[in-house]
Structure 1
Amino acid sequence: MIKSSLIEPDGGTLVDLIVPESQRYSKMTEIESMAKVNLTRIDMEWVHVISEGWASPLRGFMRESEYLQSLHFNCLRMEDGSVVNMSLPIVLAIDDETKGRIGSSLHVALVGPLGDCVAILRSIEIYKHNKEERIARTWGTTAPGLPYVDEVITPSGDWLIGGDLEVLKPIKYSDGLDNYRLSPKQLRKEFESRKADAVFAFQLRNPVHNGHALLMNDTRKRLLEMGYKNPILLLHPLGGFTKADDVPLDVRMEQHSKVLEDGVLDPETTIVAIFPSPMHYAGPTEVQWHAKARINAGANFYIVGRDPAGMAHPTEKRDLYDPDHGKKVLTMAPGLHKLNILPFKVAAYDNRENKMAFFDPSRAKDFLFISGTKMRAYAKNGENPPNGFMCPSGWKVLVEYYQSSQAQEASQ
């Protein structure tokens, strides 16, 4: 039973769609006669997300009524009239051939990229996949070059299939990182065992530099000043699909572990876990999903910074979204009222103090802003950033990754 010290999951109960082991054999027998739907790698990431309750109270891929609510209102209305946030459609696309094969079936089996049956989708509903409308409403643009659109939506079928999911066994990746993939249920148990009276989540898809650490440590200090006795940090890197120029997950996880080893973040009050969701880069629309999912994991505080979930415009030299809109939207979004949003102060490298510090506009000329692009350029060239930008062992992980990538490119 979830104790009241942690925030309640959306809908009041955490969804868990993994079939109990005792029922697995009978489900496998049933599957043999079912029509099959093939899943892509990214579809599998969504099966993982739904099965563990990150999208609670959602119990499967969206049917049309849920899809329309998500697409047009960024939320779902519950039977009792209450509203939960659901800013991204979580849908499964199929093509004409698959639709024809399904015919009038009520239930279908979902087949993973390796050819194994991973789930049953029950009481299905098939409806039209209007890609242009979906893209325009999710990203606010249909400009070419949006990574998730190019990778997932454009090549997908013209139909969406929704229904209730039954997942045969927990989704594993066997990449050496499964021990970091803690479900919302496991995270809640961990917070309880550490006697957390507040949980503050930090979502990121980049390596942790000392500016991030300053922010997280400062947040803990602020929570202690507010009267909390044991605030726990959930350092929660995104583990699903990311764009090609982002640092790969295994490298980021190794870098994060060095940050903890070096004591930049306190291992006693920090939990590092992987958030299995794919990344859309849909700015203020997507940041609501990132915040909502952390409610289900037990976080009651969410740190948000500049341009969360944003990216550069794919065809013009500017940000795709206003960098302040993400944090503004989170404070007003339907269904997120129970989550405390913590807008973070801007950190930059203080040349006078030789360390990362909160930006002081009264002496702006003393500060150096080191962007992700600049950080990557340092690492690729084997240069060191200013002393105090990142812990040395964490920086070494990045340099080794970029240099081995360049060596591979050169040899091709």
Structure 2
Amino acid sequence: MSSCLIEADGGGLVDLVVPETSRDGKIKEAELMPKIHLSKIDLEWVHVMSEGWASPLKGFMREEEYLQSLHFNSLRMKNGSLVNMSLPIVLAIDHRSKHTIGASTNVALLAPDDANIVAILRSIQIYKHNKQERIARTWGTTSPGLPYVDEVITPAGDWLIGGDLEVLQPVKYNDGLDHYRLSPQQLRHEFHLRQADAVFAFQLRNPLHNGHALLINHTRRTLLEMGYKNPLLLLHPLGGFTKADDIPLDVRMEQHIKVLEDGVLDPQTTIVAIFPSPMHYAGPTEVQWHAKARINAGANFYIVGRDPAGMGHPTEKRDLYDPDHGKKVLSMAPGLEKLNILPFRVAAYDTIAKKMAFFDPTRAQDFLFISGTKMRNYARNGENPPDGFMCPGGWEVLVTYYKSLQAQEAEPKAAVLTT
């Protein structure tokens, strides 16, 4: 299929899903191999790699790939070129699993909750998992309280296993959202069908408010002024692991759909899909991964905001990262040269115009900044934000969600009172 879309990293999308005609034979072969149980987040990474989001990576990293990713944020191809790869994508195992594998060169990977074989890892290599070095280089700190570290790395095994991945069937979650989990190949096909001559991606892990929409619509007008005839928006919320106080994926997706239904964004020029990656909250290091993955989906423009992939410092009252470093790093990162970075213009609530508008420093006193924390507090307390902050349908989704949380929190107390 001919297309004007940006080329995938390494020259083509990786597809690690075994053809249906070969599955039975592969499963029989895998049943005789040593077996490793995946965690839920391991399975998310299998999903990511199977569809080519991490192209040209073809499996969990062996040591040479791991060291390049950890120390250089990139991988060198055989032809000498570099592709960006800022996050190590690795599979940890413990001493017992290492002993079980023994001298075997292939292992079978099992689903988190049952004995179903998800994938085969071939030509494996096992090497030491130096957790402290991985944490320090990925996050720039070893402070306690980093969500991905606490949930994933600290309890993980002391060994890493890498190899070539063969995924036995497409990963599904059966949560009512699988139809939004479009692979890079499916997205490219959709962009082609809609005759897109540019694709601009916007990642978010929070609800979409009118400030986001202002930026998105401004970006599309800018691309039209640049001469593009049909630029399309890839509205691409993150769908993997998130920290406990983030709003769940199903609620965010419902809110995003309401935004489209209310006409805040144009459904004809917007594709809403879920990006299946887990979230690290690793700031400038992680935002490179977010941008690189969208290249593989066909996006040639990427909107980057304030403190992308960042969070508050886990032990100090400050941002973990400099809020401007993410966009600066993206403009310089090796392997991302073909991606056009669109800096996020700061939007705030204009108390004079009574709507979200681009911040004007000459009348700073007229603007109200509504942070994600403040927005969540409004919804949690049943308060309405200023008119024009978010479309009514989208806001109602958030209010309903927080009411349900409060009802759940009240249930145990009511039970205690009645005993």
Please report the TM-score for the alignment, with normalisation by the length of structure 2: 0.98
1:246 pairs with 2:239: no
Q: Report the Cα distance in structure 1 between the residues aligned to 2:173 and 2:367, rounded to whole angstroms.
A: 42
Which AA in structure 2 matches 1:46?
A: W
Provide the aligned C-alpha RMSD in A: 0.5
Q: Report the Cα distance in structure 1 between the residues aligned to 2:223 and 2:31, rounded to whole angstroms.
A: 54
Corresponding residue for residue 399 of structure 1: 399
Following superposition, the deviation at residue 407 of structure 1 comes to 1.2
Which AA in structure 2 matches 1:90?
A: I
Q: Report the Cα distance in structure 1 between the residues aligned to 2:30 and 2:280, rounded to whole angstroms.
A: 32
Q: Report the Cα distance in structure 2 between the residues aligned to 1:326 and 1:110, rounded to whole angstroms.
A: 35
Corresponding residue for residue 323 of structure 1: 323
Corresponding residue for residue 148 of structure 2: 148
Following superposition, the deviation at residue 143 of structure 1 comes to 0.1
Q: Report the Cα distance in structure 2 between the residues aligned to 1:101 and 1:177, rounded to whole angstroms.
A: 37
Q: Report the Cα distance in structure 2 between the residues aligned to 1:362 and 1:132, rounded to whole angstroms.
A: 46
Q: What SS does structure 1 have at the residue aligned with 2:36?
A: strand
Corresponding residue for residue 192 of structure 1: 192
Cα pair 2:3 2:192 within 8 Å, conserved: no
Corresponding residue for residue 378 of structure 1: 378
Q: Report the Cα distance in structure 1 between the residues aligned to 2:288 and 2:394, rounded to whole angstroms.
A: 30
Corresponding residue for residue 8 of structure 1: 7
1:180-227 Cα offsets, whole Å, 9 max, x none, are: 000000000000000000000000000000000000000000000000
Which AA in structure 1 matches 2:4?
A: S
Q: Which runs of 4+ in 1 moved over 3 A?
A: none
Aligned length: 411
Which AA in structure 2 matches 1:103?
A: G
Q: Report the Cα distance in structure 2 between the residues aligned to 1:351 and 1:297, rounded to whole angstroms.
A: 39
Q: Report the Cα distance in structure 2 between the residues aligned to 1:4 and 1:232, rounded to whole angstroms.
A: 14
1:279 pairs with 2:279: yes
Corresponding residue for residue 78 of structure 1: 77
Unaligned runs of 5+ in 2: 413-419
Q: What SS does structure 1 have at the residue aligned with 2:60?
A: coil
Corresponding residue for residue 313 of structure 1: 313
Corresponding residue for residue 363 of structure 2: 363
Following superposition, the deviation at residue 113 of structure 1 comes to 1.0
Which AA in structure 2 matches 1:24?
A: R
Structure 1 residues 107-256: aligned runs within 5 Å: 107-115=106-114, 116-256=116-256
Which AA in structure 2 matches 1:291?
A: A
Deviating more after overlay: 315-324 vs 106-115: 106-115
Q: Report the Cα distance in structure 2 between the residues aligned to 1:370 and 1:225, rounded to whole angstroms.
A: 30
Which AA in structure 2 matches 1:177?
A: L
1:254-308 Cα offsets, whole Å, 9 max, x none, are: 0000000011000000000000000000000000000000000000000001000
Corresponding residue for residue 304 of structure 1: 304
1:21 pairs with 2:10: no
Q: Report the Cα distance in structure 2 between the residues aligned to 1:213 and 1:32, rounded to whole angstroms.
A: 50
1:63 pairs with 2:62: yes
Corresponding residue for residue 94 of structure 1: 93
Percentage of identical aligned residues = 80
Q: Report the Cα distance in structure 2 between the residues aligned to 1:235 and 1:359, rounded to whole angstroms.
A: 23
Corresponding residue for residue 35 of structure 1: 34
Please report the TM-score for the alignment, with normalisation by the length of structure 1: 0.99
Which AA in structure 2 matches 1:274?
A: I
Q: Report the Cα distance in structure 2 between the residues aligned to 1:358 and 1:37, rounded to whole angstroms.
A: 51
Following superposition, the deviation at residue 411 of structure 1 comes to 1.3
Q: Report the Cα distance in structure 1 between the residues aligned to 2:409 and 2:393, rounded to whole angstroms.
A: 25
Corresponding residue for residue 291 of structure 2: 291
Following superposition, the deviation at residue 4 of structure 1 comes to 4.0
Q: Report the Cα distance in structure 2 between the residues aligned to 1:49 and 1:378, rounded to whole angstroms.
A: 35
Q: Report the Cα distance in structure 2 between the residues aligned to 1:4 and 1:175, rounded to whole angstroms.
A: 33
Q: What SS does structure 2 have at the residue aligned with 1:11?
A: helix
Q: Report the Cα distance in structure 2 between the residues aligned to 1:275 and 1:32, rounded to whole angstroms.
A: 31
Following superposition, the deviation at residue 114 of structure 1 comes to 2.5
Q: Report the Cα distance in structure 2 between the residues aligned to 1:357 and 1:35, rounded to whole angstroms.
A: 58
Unaligned runs of 5+ in 1: none
Q: Report the Cα distance in structure 1 between the residues aligned to 2:137 and 2:346, rounded to whole angstroms.
A: 30
